Structure 1
């Protein structure tokens, strides 16, 4: 014996709306759970979620009176809601059609002058040749980069700064050697030997 198929969500929603349309009254959730199962075959455990989904879609009205929440829906309200939703959807469809027409017009304009003609093929070929030529010239120019005046000027600046730094450190070494010699009476040759200082250390001209 085959098992009876349960109701889908949409079927449950439809049956709960029918129940409220037929009763045309105000109910608490517990009352709807009992009536939904008894009169419409909607399990009481699913009534709460179904009713809430209908409230979210503005198909069922709800309000708190005292300590209890009441739910209701009349055919006139449902008809108004459906008409409003239909109007919104119709507006969206019209806007989508306008965007589609606009995009098609843009696409048509973009295709103009791009037909695969002999003239276009010649222009594309010429463009490719020019790009290839540009690439070769750029590569050739790169070979002479070191002779560029700006590059030479920058290298000159870097060399000058390096020279100043070397002479500054050389001056520091000489000062330190002199201090050690005067303070501790150490011979300069001994200082050079112990600290690995070249005997011909001198300033860079």
Structure 2
């Protein structure tokens, strides 16, 4: 028919467009603001809720919300799970706490090794000093000559230099750094008590949405070998 234009269907759009690679060059400060908002809320959010609130939280355009959320998800800063018919997003600082505790444990282990080397060094210095005194007394009684003692001292000082060089390799075990880490752990322990309540509330909500079997499956996925299969709860420490 004259004037009739044939139309073609548009190519299908991906169901989860927010899971594509971010198209926006995300600002680190705005990413941090979004992460703080999600963690402070202590609840899970769907994408519509985030598109409503994040523009004012991080001063971004509503069209950029999905890209910022995807960037946080790619960096494992937030969790995303499909529950029911949609995806939900949340984040708790407990994983960050675990990372700090790991760093502290490594620093403490390094410090312990440094202390062991220092103790060995001090013992050898003391032994060398006692030997020098013994040699001096022996020389006074007609023992070794001063040249022989000087040679012996040179060997001891050379060994001492090697031990000091080895000790300098443990410079990361700074007591000031360790004290800062201890304070950080104390802070995270206090926060853990607060976020534990949030996690329990989140689990109760997920049971309501997905049922006990869904919640048990999530615990098995998140807790791994720390899960008590009989009770389907985290093992007691």
TM-score scaled by length of structure 1: 0.36
Structure of higher CA gyration radius: 1
Q: Which structure is richer in relative contact order (CA contacts within 8 A, separation 6 or more)?
A: 2
TM-score scaled by length of structure 2: 0.33
